[in-house]
Amino acid sequence: MVPKFIYSDNMGTETINKPPVRKYALVVIATFILIFLIYYSVMNLLSPVRKLEELKKEYAFRQNEKNKIDERVFNDSAYLKLLKDRSFLQSRVAMAETDSIYLTINLADSIVNLEISGVSVHKTKIKKLNISKMLRDDNSYTISSFLSKPFNISKNYSSIPKVPLMIKMAPKDTSEYIPDIFPDTADYEPVNYIMAIENGTRIIVYQEEKLNPGDNIHLFWFDLRYRLRNTLESLKSSLTFKVPEYHPFIKLRLPRADAKIIYRALPEHGQIAVYR
């Protein structure tokens, strides 16, 4: 029913139809939001597809015109197993030559190692594991080639400081001197961190234990901030009509003490090798 209002003057009374402007505005806004949500969803669905195409373009096998190889060999499980082993060894050899501490993640055996020049200095068991579907493809020459090079850390997001810091006032004389006792706040704070890799991958480490009542809440907010950052990046890309960047991920749950040791032992821009 179209709303009406009454207008009166000395000449009489006249009924005029009033257009439902507010109703039309709400319909237009709701339609716009619906269209944008559909558009945003489609762009996010295209994101992993584009990432895989980028990997194929860079890491897929290229035929040699002189010595062609039957591509059916790439579907052979024995060949792919050897390829994965070789790729992992290549990464470890490349990192060992740097004379710096680095990390190896063996997803097949659920083992994480800190190594220096090929020698393990700290080992821990992965308690829980979750990885992107893209990286779970065991029959992919592209993914095996992608993992054949060390991952370089570009940025860290963490709940604990990389290097513990204590501020202390200098004593007036020797009578006020007290030996330094460095408090380690990570013994009380939850240990969760994300290592952003230069190739777009994310290595996400959460502590396995829930020692304090607030640990679950802390993890919730830490994970929520990470997801919000990704959502904002996706929105910015979508608003400029670009497909958002997809970040393949490896989520690990480790014992808290081991997770802290690994995070603080790795250099700020350290290297990681992954075997799946």
Q: CB within 8 A of 50, min separation 6: which ones?
A: 243, 246
Residue in the structure block whose two tokens are 């829930």: 210
| pLDDT the model gives residue 101 | 93
A 10 A CB-CB count for 138 gives: 13
Tens digit of each residue's pLDDT, the chain (276 residues)? 555 545 455 555 555 555 577 888 888 898 989 998 898 889 988 998 898 888 888 887 666 565 566 566 666 777 778 888 888 888 899 899 888 899 999 998 999 999 998 889 999 999 999 999 888 876 577 888 888 889 999 999 999 988 765 555 655 656 555 555 555 544 678 899 999 999 999 999 999 988 787 888 888 999 999 999 989 998 998 888 898 999 999 999 999 999 999 999 999 999 999 998
What's residue 191's pLDDT?
92
Contacts of 183 (CB under 8 A, 6+ apart): 164, 166
Of 209, 206, 207, the closest CA to residue 250 belongs to: 206
Contacts of 41 (CB under 8 A, 6+ apart): none
Q: Collapsing DSSP states into helix, strand and coil, what is residue 158?
A: strand
Task: Specify the residue for token string 């991958």.
Answer: 201
CATH for 65-173+184-275 (3.30.1330.60, 3.40.50.2000, 2.40.440.10, 3.30.465.10): 2.40.440.10
Residue type, 117: S
Structure tokens at 136: 């779970």
Looking at the chain, list the stretches that DSSP marks H as alpha helix, in order from N- to C-terminal side. 21-59, 77-96, 141-146, 215-239, 256-265
Using alpha carbons, list the distances in angstroms from residue 40 to 47, 239, 248.
Answer: 11, 9, 19
Which of 262, 232, 243, 228 minimizes the C-alpha distance to 156? 262
Angle at 172 between CA 167 and CA 176, to 5 degrees: 80
DSSP class of residue 200 equals S
Amino acid residing at 62? R
**Paired tokens of 189:** 């704070």
* pTM, entire model: 0.77
Residue with tokens 């659920």: 110
Per-domain boundaries in the chain: 65-173+184-275
Structure tokens that stand for 248 in this block: 């393949």
Pair of tokens at residue 101: 């501490």
Which letter does DSSP use for residue 122 in this model?
E
